C-alpha cells in the first residue's frame, strides 16, 4: 500500500489506477476548485485546459493559452491540494523536444500525470467542430517523447489522447491508442466516442487503464459510473461540471443583485473562511507567536545575555582601550 503522506504524486496516481474500480474525477481550473474537490473526498483531479483558458483568460480553448500560463496555473493548483493532479499538456506545445520539456516541467511543478494529444496546433476543445489531427506517425512520436521524458527521470505518468475518432473514425482512433500503449503510455484516452457501443469496443480492444471524458452536452454518452466501470474504464473525468456549475451560480447571483436582491445560494462567511484556510493559518501562526516583553526587561535568548551583560561588556572594552592607549 502506498503511503499518501510520503509517496510522490505520480506514485499515488499509479496506485489509484492499479487498484480495481472506477475513480470519479471532477476537473479543476484553479487552486480553490482543486481544494474543494479534495475537501469533498475525491481521490484525484485533472487541470482542464478548457476551464483554465476560460477562467484565467476568459477565452475559448482554441490554443490561445500558453505553456507558461498553464504551467503557472498548475503550480498553484498542485500547491493547494494533496490530491494527485493530472495536467492538460495539450499537444506538447511544439515538436518532440517541446513535448519532453512540457512533461519534465509539469513533473517539477508537482503534477502526478500529464496528457499529450494528437491534434494539430492550434488545438481546440475535443467536443467542438473543426478539429484536425496530425498523422499517426507524428502522434506516436509525441507520445514516444513523453514516455522518454518519464524514463529519463521525470516522476510523472503519461496519459496519451487521440482525437482521431472525429476526423478518421473509430478504427483509426483505436489503432492510435494501441500504438500509444505499445510505447508505454500509462493511461489511454480516446476522445469523443459517439455511443455506448463505441466505448465498449474501445475498452475491449486494448487492456490497461483508460479514461472516459464526460462533457455535459458533448458527443459522448453520459453513462453512470457503475456502467463505465463495467465497460472497463478506470477514470471518469468531468472536465466542465464545476466550471459550468460555478458559472450558473454566478449568473444567478448577478441577476439577483441587478434586481436589488441578495442571492439565495451563497456559502456562509464562516464556512468560506474555513474553505480557504483561515483556521489552519491562525493555528500555525500561533506556534510562532512571540510574547512581547517591556524593553527594559528584554532578554536576547539566542545569545544568552541580558542588558546588564551588555553594560558589563562595554565597561570591559573601555578598560582594554585605556590599557592600549598607555
Q: What is the pLDDT of residues 38-91, one digit of tens each?
A: 999 999 999 999 999 999 999 998 889 999 999 999 999 999 999 999 999 999
- Spatial separation of the C-alpha atoms in residues 53 and 158, rounded to whole Å: 22
Q: Are 105 and 87 in contact (CB under 8 A)?
A: no
- Report the pLDDT averaged over residues 176-181: 98
- Which of 175-189, 227-241, 276-290, 295-309 is least confident? 295-309
- Which of 199-203, 226-230, 290-294, 317-321 is least confident? 317-321
Return the C-alpha cell found at 120: 494539430
- Spatial separation of the C-alpha atoms in residues 198 and 210, rounded to whole Å: 14
- Residue found by looking up cell 483509426 in the block: 172
* β-strand partners of 157: 113
Q: What one-character-per-residue DSSP string does 16-40 give?
A: HHHSSS-EEEEEESSHHHHHHHHHT
Q: Are 214 and 193 in contact (CB under 8 A)?
A: no
- Which of 134-143, 192-201, 272-281, 296-305 is least confident? 296-305
Higher pLDDT, residue 214 or 121: 214
Please, what is the average pLDDT of the chain? 91
Nearest 10 degrees: CA dihedral of 141, 239, 209, 117? -10
- Spatial separation of the C-alpha atoms in residues 69 and 52, rounded to whole Å: 9
Confidence grade of residue 121 (pLDDT, cut at 50, 70, 90): confident
Q: pLDDT tens across 273-324, in order?
A: 999 999 999 999 999 988 877 765 555 544 444 555 555 666 666 666 555 5
Tally of CB atoms within 10 A around 227: 15
Specify the pLDDT at position 325.
Answer: 54
Specify the pLDDT at position 122.
Answer: 75
- Report the pLDDT averaged over residues 185-208: 97
- Report the pLDDT averaged over residues 157-184: 97
Cis amide linkage into residue 282, ω under 30° from 0 = no
**CB burial class (10 A; 0-12, 13-18, 19+) of residue 254?**
exposed
Q: Are 159 and 189 in contact (CB under 8 A)?
A: yes
Q: What DSSP element (H or E) covers 115?
A: strand 113-117
Higher pLDDT, residue 4 or 202: 202
Specify the pLDDT at position 6.
Answer: 76
Return the C-alpha cell found at 65: 493559452
Specify the pLDDT at position 324.
Answer: 52
Give 48's DSSP letter.
-
Residue 258 has pLDDT above 50, yes or no: yes
* β-strand partners of 116: 160
Specify the pLDDT at position 278.
Answer: 94
CA angle at 190 for the pair 186 and 196, rounded to the nearest 5°? 125
Specify the pLDDT at position 301.
Answer: 47
Residue 82: partners with Cβ closer than 8 Å, 6 or more residues away: 4, 38
3-state secondary structure of 266: coil
- Residue found by looking up cell 481550473 in the block: 29
Residue 291: partners with Cβ closer than 8 Å, 6 or more residues away: none
- Spatial separation of the C-alpha atoms in residues 191 and 187, rounded to whole Å: 13
Higher pLDDT, residue 296 or 172: 172
- Spatial separation of the C-alpha atoms in residues 62 and 53, rounded to whole Å: 9
The percentage of residues in the chain with a pLDDT greater than 70, rounded to a whole number, is: 86
Specify the pLDDT at position 131.
Answer: 82
Amino acid at each position: 500500500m502506498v503511503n499518501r503522506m510520503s509517496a510522490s504524486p505520480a506514485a499515488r496516481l499509479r496506485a489509484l489506477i492499479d487498484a480495481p474500480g472506477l475513480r470519479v474525477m471532477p476537473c479543476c481550473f484553479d487552486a480553490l476548485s482543486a481544494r474543494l474537490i479534495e475537501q469533498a473526498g475525491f481521490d484525484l483531479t485533472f487541470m482542464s485546459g478548457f476551464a483554465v483558458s476560460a477562467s484565467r483568460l476568459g477565452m475559448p480553448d482554441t490554443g490561445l493559452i500558453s505553456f507558461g500560463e498553464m504551467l503557472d496555473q498548475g503550480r498553484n493548483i498542485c500547491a493547494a491540494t494533496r490530491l494527485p493532479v493530472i495536467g492538460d499538456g495539450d499537444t506538447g506545445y511544439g515538436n518532440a523536444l517541446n513535448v519532453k520539456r512540457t512533461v519534465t516541467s509539469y513533473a517539477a511543478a508537482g503534477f502526478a500525470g500529464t496528457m499529450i494529444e494528437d491534434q494539430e496546433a492550434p488545438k481546440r476543445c475535443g467536443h467542438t467542430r473543426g478539429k484536425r489531427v496530425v498523422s499517426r506517425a507524428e502522434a506516436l512520436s509525441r507520445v514516444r517523447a513523453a514516455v522518454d521524458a518519464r524514463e529519463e527521470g521525470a516522476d510523472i505518468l503519461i496519459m496519451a489522447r487521440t482525437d482521431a475518432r472525429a476526423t478518421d473514425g473509430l478504427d483509426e482512433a483505436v489503432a492510435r491508442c494501441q500504438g500509444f500503449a505499445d510505447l508505454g503510455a500509462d493511461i489511454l484516452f480516446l476522445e469523443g466516442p459517439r455511443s455506448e457501443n463505441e466505448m465498449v469496443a474501445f475498452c475491449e480492444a486494448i487492456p490497461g487503464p483508460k479514461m472516459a471524458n464526460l462533457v455535459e452536452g458533448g458527443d459522448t454518452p453520459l453513462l453512470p459510473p457503475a456502467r463505465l466501470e463495467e465497460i472497463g474504464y478506470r477514470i471518469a473525468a468531468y472536465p466542465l461540471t464545476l466550471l459550468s456549475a460555478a458559472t450558473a451560480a454566478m449568473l444567478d447571483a448577478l441577476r439577483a443583485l441587478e434586481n436589488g436582491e441578495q442571492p439565495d445560494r451563497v456559502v456562509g462567511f464562516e464556512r468560506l473562511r474555513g474553505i480557504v484556510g483561515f483556521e489552519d493559518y491562525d493555528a500555525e501562526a500561533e506556534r510562532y507567536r512571540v510574547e512581547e516583553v517591556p524593553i527594559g526587561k528584554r532578554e536576547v535568548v539566542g545569545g544568552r545575555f541580558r542588558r546588564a551583560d551588555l553594560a558589563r561588556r562595554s565597561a570591559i572594552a573601555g578598560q582594554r582601550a585605556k590599557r592600549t592607549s598607555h
